[in-house]
Chains A and B, each alone.
Chain A
Amino acid sequence: MRFLRKRSNDGKKSPALPDQLSPDKVLEQYKDRTISTNLEENIKLINSLLEANPDLVTRRFHVFGKYPAVMFYFSNMVDQTMINFDILKPFIYMPPHLEGRKIGDGQLKNILINETIIHSGARLQSNIVRVIDAILEADSVVLIEGVDEAFLFSTRNVESRAVGQPQTEQVIRGPREGFVESLSTNTALMRYRLKTPSFQIRNMVIGKYTKSNISICYIKGIANPDLVKEVENRLSKIKIDGVLDTGYLEQFIEDNHISPFPQVLYTERPDKAVAQLLEGRVAILMDGSPFALIVPTVFTQFYQVTEDYYERPVMGSFIRLSRLLALIFALIVPSLYVAVISFNPELLPTEFAVAVAGGRASVPYPTVVEVFMMETAMEVLREATVRLPKQVGGALSIVGVLIIGQAAVAAGFASPITVVVIALTTIGSFATPAYNAALALRLLRFFLIIMAGIFGLYGVMIGLILISNHLLSLRSFGIPYMSPIAPGNLQGVKDTLIRAPLWWMKKRPESSQPVNEDRVSGQTVQATKEPPDNPLGPKRSN
């Protein structure tokens, strides 16, 4: 808690300042030191603290031609034009309305900030440590002889990616915007979708060295206040050198660290984040990461995509069902195959069984080993494809899938049916929209294959029961992971296997325990039930 700071304002523009000490030993000494009125002393101090930074610019000038002053900033992180025209110019040129006015000793500070400076992000600060922090945040700092506070200006301009298509969550229909690395852009992307004072953001800083800005976004009046408190509480316990992505945070705030299943959802899509906020969840954004974390998360969210809601309900449900089927395929098809071939071949139609036996006749290994090897090969191939540059990746996947599969069969290394099974599974796992959930399933698939290799169908069943029991015992921020299915909730179930029409889902899902439950107005619901007017129908004769 010591070096963290919570701020209740919106923090739309101003970057957060650590209000307490930074942990660096050097700065520790100057904990309570304030800006002195002696300019040279200040310059010496700041230069000594930021000594080995060649990109630190120290620009001396005279305010209104009279008062000696100095300006500090990091040359590569700031907006140079802004510094020139919005900061330096008003400092140096005395505006006409001040001509001839006598400036008293203590007045300079007030006159400058109130009447002269036209930069909106200007503020005053007396603590030297905070001034240093501000410089590190890419603010510009102006110190003036005889003034006991420093002028800080938000001038940050770090090169950042333009808002573009979210790479990992493509949709056919729906917004094309994705989060970028810049926190301010990301909050802006969310805020323009949520024009309400209830949309609130709490900031905090995590990381001893990275001092990453974290924003906890929620909608007041929908999100459960206990939940917001708990999120803050868990985040505030993180004391670490640095966080480089929201993935770091996820690992600290999840409930069960060993479970293969992700208990925190991440998304690259602002529309999805907003949709989650509207369901009473909390989003965690971080400067430098294009992924927002969503808590609490339930299992069903991992196969839901925003497009389900943008398409009409029947189509949405259909797509979702096929995705669910793919998910199940990815998990159990190889183990079922092993169980049926090695343990219960009587389940196959006789003619097919005889043919499969023929196809397998040249394979030297038991089915379980065969499937295991092919699955492993597939995992390797997939990993290789992910890491390779796009141009090479396509070629590799063709080589992998076509040539290796064909060759394996021709060499009598794998039976053709195995190749079909592996292909089905792989495609199935690609159809799961959440990469981390798909990973969990991929991992558990191996476990199931082993179980099938030992006990056949019985083993598959035992494995599935074990997995389901684990899922049912998981909690995400106290919310049962399998809700709304497991503690049955009628409202929630409308959005699990199928996607009910929006006006059926009158209430927010209970799984996130929202404060305000209604989301569709009763009148709208009523209106959907009435027959539509037909102003363009066949004309009635008078």
Chain B
Amino acid sequence: MGNKKCTKTGNKAKLLILLLLMPLIAGCWDRSELDERALVLGISIDKADPETEKEEPDVSHLPGQEPLPAKDMIRLTAQLAVPGRIPLGPGGQGGGASPGGSQTIWPLSVVGHSMSDAIANLQQQISSPLFLGHLRTIVVSEEIARKELKDINDYFRRNPEVRRTTWMMVSSGKAEPLMRSAPEIERVPTLYLMMTLEQAVKLGKFPQDFIGVFWSRSVKKGQEGFLPYVEVQKKDNILIQGMAYFKGTKMVGKPSPLEIAAYMGIKGESPGGYQLVKIPGTKSQAVFAATQRKSKIDFKIVHGRPDFSVKVWIEGNINEINADAHLNDDNIKDIERAEAKRVQKIYGDLVSNTQKDGSDIFGFGEYVRAKAPKYWNREIRTVEQWQNMYKDVSVHIQTMVRVRRVGMTTS
């Protein structure tokens, strides 16, 4: 017992010495206070004007020395949080420095040959280290997106700070205004942008599509990715203009918001949006809101090509009736039929549009890969093959609509 005790004591003494030594061998290499970091909340990426090259500081390379990437330069605008401008707690009367409506964010703009080049240039201009851990929105201008998104993706993938749940979106026109916009409702503008999208997901206006989802969709062999397509409105609010779908890493098309619903319908995602339906046989119209959508995607191999059949079940409520129509059982049946027809048309249009662009955002290819692996291995195998084949597979869409509820009034 005594022996044991003795060694234990020795052990503890050594441990103590170790502990005392630890701070000596260690510094605080990674310590970087929250207020010393430049929190990047949003980034927008535009194509830089040709003459802006002069603007570029010699940070990552000297002019003319290194072989520069033979691409257009990009203009990167970052939205930085200004510490102290956003008070702790409710209201603004907290500390001494009352923000009083002044900018809580600090948009900075730099140019660069690539993402990391631009970030390095940005870092050169500000004192605190940039921190991308709170990067919530990345806006890419349509111009860039249509050209190539590969390098940008690569940068964000490599950086461990970047979240996979960041929202990436494509802006119509320049992306920079989105970083400079200041909607009044939210204290941090970029959060408003993010909230817009997240609420849209909750309300069924847009499918779940953060950057991680986009990435895994775009690399899948039988599927392509898509991103929200946004536009700044007059009041600095943001309109979801539709979706930008990609072929590989290039944007190829932008369907309208109504077609987002079509996409969600085909994928069977709930809840849905609103649609105006003409009540057959009358002049009045009803507004139908889908609450539940289910879909079943099936395929057969016909003449060496997959032949898809998509069945969509939509359930919903009547939210509004214009003019003086009265709802009755027949009426409702009619509405259901009319709605089904309409929906089918919209769905079909979306599918054929994407087919034209060779961008299978629905992941029909994945169904083939998953359920007919032999056929896939024999005929398709690669992304390119499927992109080609998708253009002329046939997709049959069937829709069924049920009106479940008509609200609080019986008429």
Contact = CB atoms under 8 A, between A and B. Distances in A.
A/B: CB atoms within 8 Å of each other: yes
Contact of B41 (A255, A350, A366): A350
Given A345-B134, A350-B41, A450 B23 contact: yes
Interface in B77-91: 81, 83-89
Contact of A258 (B9, B31, B33): B9
A345 B131 contact: yes
Contacts of A368: 28, 31
Interface string A459-474: 0000000100010000
B34 A341 contact: yes
A49 interface: no
Nearest to A340: B34
The 9 closest A-B pairs by CB, nearest first: A346-B133, A361-B84, A357-B83, A360-B35, A258-B12, A359-B88, A361-B83, A357-B35, A354-B81
B191 interface: yes
Contacts of B23: 450, 454
A487 interface: no
A197 B58 CA distance: 93
What is the interface residue range for chain A against chain B? 35 or more
A447 interface: yes
Contacts of B163: 346
A256 B12 contact: yes
Contact of B34 (A351, A360, A362, A453): A360
Given A355-B89, A357-B37, A367-B33, 9 more contacts: A255-B8, A345-B133, A350-B136, A353-B34, A358-B95, A362-B84, A363-B35, A367-B34, A447-B19
A106 to B, nearest CB: 53
A12 interface: no
Which secondary structure characterizes the binding site on chain B? loop
B30 interface: yes
Interface residues of B, number: 41
B86 A355 contact: yes
Which secondary structure characterizes the binding site on chain A? helix
A366 B26 CA distance: 16
A230 B133 CA distance: 58
A252 interface: no
A94 interface: no
A259 B5 CA distance: 12
Nearest to A366: B33
A355 B134 contact: no
Contacts of B12: 256, 258-259
Interface string B1-34: 0000100110011011001001100111011111
B134 A346 contact: yes
Contact of A358 (B41, B84, B161, B191): B84
Interface in A241-281: 255-259
Contacts of A341: 33-34
A361 B96 CA distance: 12
Contact of B30 (A256, A343, A450): A343
Contacts of A93: none
Interface of A: 255-259, 341-346, 350-351, 353-363, 366-368, 416-417, 447, 450-451, 453-456, 466, 470
Interface string B29-56: 0111111010101000000000000000
A466 B16 CA distance: 11
B8 A351 contact: no
Contacts of A344: 133
Given A351-B187, A354-B39, A454-B28, A345 B88 contact: no
A356 B33 contact: no
A354 B187 CA distance: 10
B133 to A, nearest CB: 3
B32 A358 contact: no
A417 B85 CA distance: 17
Q: Could you say which of B22, B28, B31 has the most chain A C-beta atoms within 10 Å of its C-beta?
A: B31
6 contacts: A258-B9, A343-B31, A345-B37, A356-B88, A358-B83, A454-B31
B92 to A, nearest CB: 11
Contacts of A256: 5, 8-9, 12
A456 B314 CA distance: 51
A357 B39 contact: yes
B188 interface: yes
A357 B87 CA distance: 9
Contacts of B188: 350-351, 354
A466 B18 CA distance: 12
Nearest to B134: A350
A258 B136 CA distance: 49
A264 to B, nearest CB: 15
A33 B101 CA distance: 99
B34 A355 contact: no
Q: Could you say which of A255, A341, A355 has the most chain B C-beta atoms within 10 Å of its C-beta?
A: A355
A367 B136 CA distance: 25
B103 to A, nearest CB: 13
Contacts of B22: 451, 454
B39 A353 contact: yes
B87 A358 contact: yes
Contact of B85 (A358, A367, A453, A456): A358
Nearest to A347: B133
B31 A453 contact: yes
B362 to A, nearest CB: 32
A330 to B, nearest CB: 20
